[in-house]
Amino acid sequence: MQTQKHDLPTGLRRGLLLLLFALGLSALLLATAFAAPSGPRVGKLTCQRTTEYPALTAYLDGGLPTSQQPPQGDLTVHITANGSTFAVHTGKGTVSDALAAAGLTYTAYDNISPAACTLLVDGMTIELSEVTLSYEKVESALPCAVVEEPTSALMVGETAVKQAGADGLRQDTYRVLQSGGRVLERTLAASEVLREATDEVLYVGTREDAVIETPEVVPLQNDGRDHDLPLYESLVERVVTMEATAYTHTGNTTATGTMPKLGTIAVNPKQIPYGTLLYVEGYGFGRAEDTGGFRHNGRAQLDLFMDTEDECWQWGHKRGLTVYVLKETEYFDYERIFSSSTDPAEPAGEGEA
């Protein structure tokens, strides 16, 4: 069976094509015109939703009929700024428009509630809090480091300054936001070192202390000195060679006002100052508290106190004695050295030996 082909007239076909094209273009234009934007805009600012005004939020979302939309005429809004509240009458617009109508300006740091681009509704309350920006500079010390250098020139426990240290100086700049006398935010904006710190360099002793071996001390009457106290190298300031004689009671006090006893040593104060602690070979520990006629001849001489005249004659006049001049330290505390000394005995004789 042969099928018959029915073709539409050429004019009709062209009309149908034009109709379909027009309908498609209209649909595209309508879709573009009624498409919902990502957010309603006022000018170039996107308005913020607010739960404080649900009717406004619904209006922004296009959910209110025309009868419920904000009025087009005058609106009254209440503005709180600079500690006072006042009413402003304005037309439809945004919070920014209401502030401008009230003659109020603001910066990007100021707090505005609701947001500046929020649409106005009658009776709205607007709060403007001025926020000031300032920069605060604070200087602080940069503590110097301590660098230790070991040395055998010092005893263990001893230190000496090789290089004095000095703290550095740093300046920190803080960005401060304040409102109503209250700091809202304080952040570090910049930091600059104004002066570098200088390290303190210390010599630290590594040499072990040693006890100086000395000859045995001559036994003397009423001797309460502590001869068991070791004589350490670290406690010796200098070593000198001197001659030494001996003297006993004269009935007088010493040149420094004390009564002589075992350990009292007469010196030339120009050579050895009064109060200096000494260790004399064969005699032991003593202290420079007195002087004698030998101070005028300039010789390096000592006169050692003994309790009896016989002991002075036995000592005689010794030359080439090693004398240790001691440092002023707690270790050689005078009271400790002579803690068991007895009171000076009654004079056994008068005058120098």
**Which CATH number does the domain housing residue 174 bear?**
2.20.230.10
How far apart, in whole angstroms, are the C-alpha atoms of residue 114 and residue 95?
Answer: 7
In which band, very low, low, confident or very high, does the pLDDT at 337 lie, cut at 50, 70 and 90?
A: low
Q: Is residue 28 part of a domain?
A: no
Q: Say what the pLDDT of residue 266 is.
A: 95
Q: Is residue 343 part of a domain?
A: no
Residue 176 and residue 107 share a domain = no
In which band, very low, low, confident or very high, does the pLDDT at 9 lie, cut at 50, 70 and 90?
A: low
57 pLDDT higher than 80: no
pTM: 0.43
Q: Is residue 224 part of a domain?
A: no
The total of structural domains in the chain comes to 3
Residue 149 and residue 105 share a domain = no
Residue 72 and residue 165 share a domain = no
Residue 238 and residue 165 share a domain = no
In which band, very low, low, confident or very high, does the pLDDT at 333 lie, cut at 50, 70 and 90?
A: low
Q: Is residue 7 part of a domain?
A: no
Start-to-end C-alpha separation, the chain:
171
Q: Are 134 and 153 in contact (CB under 8 A)?
A: no
Q: Are 352 and 303 in contact (CB under 8 A)?
A: yes
Residue 276 and residue 258 share a domain = yes
DSSP-assigned letters across all residues of 301-340: EEEEE-SSHHHHHHH--EEEEEEEEEP--GGG-HHHHTTT
Which range has the top average pLDDT, 56-60, 102-106, 153-157, 265-269?
A: 265-269
Written as six digits, the tokens of 125 are 């309350």
Residue 237 and residue 314 share a domain = yes
Q: Is residue 126 part of a domain?
A: yes
68 pLDDT higher than 80: no
Q: What is the CATH classification number for the domain harbouring 108?
A: 3.10.20.30
Q: Is residue 211 part of a domain?
A: no
Instruction: Output the CA torsion sign for 285, 289, 293, 295.
Output: positive
| Backbone torsion region of residue 299, taken as left when φ is above 0, otherwise alpha when ψ lies between -120 and 50, otherwise beta | beta
Residue 144 and residue 105 share a domain = no
Looking up tokens 């104004």 gives 194
- Tell me how crowded residue 238 is: count the other CB atoms within 10 A of its CB: 9
Q: Is residue 158 part of a domain?
A: yes
Secondary element (H or E) of residue 216: none
Q: Is residue 177 part of a domain?
A: yes
Residue 94 and residue 78 share a domain = yes
Give the range of the structural domain holding residue 126, as residue numbers without chain letter: 41-130
How far apart, in whole angstroms, are the C-alpha atoms of residue 187 and residue 29?
Answer: 52
Residue 333 and residue 240 share a domain = yes
Q: Mean pLDDT, to the nearest integer, of 142-165?
A: 89
| CB neighbour burial string for 154-185, b if at least 16 within 10 angstroms, e if fewer | bbeeeeeeeeebeeeebeeebeebbeeeeeee
How far apart, in whole angstroms, are the C-alpha atoms of residue 275 and residue 254?
Answer: 12
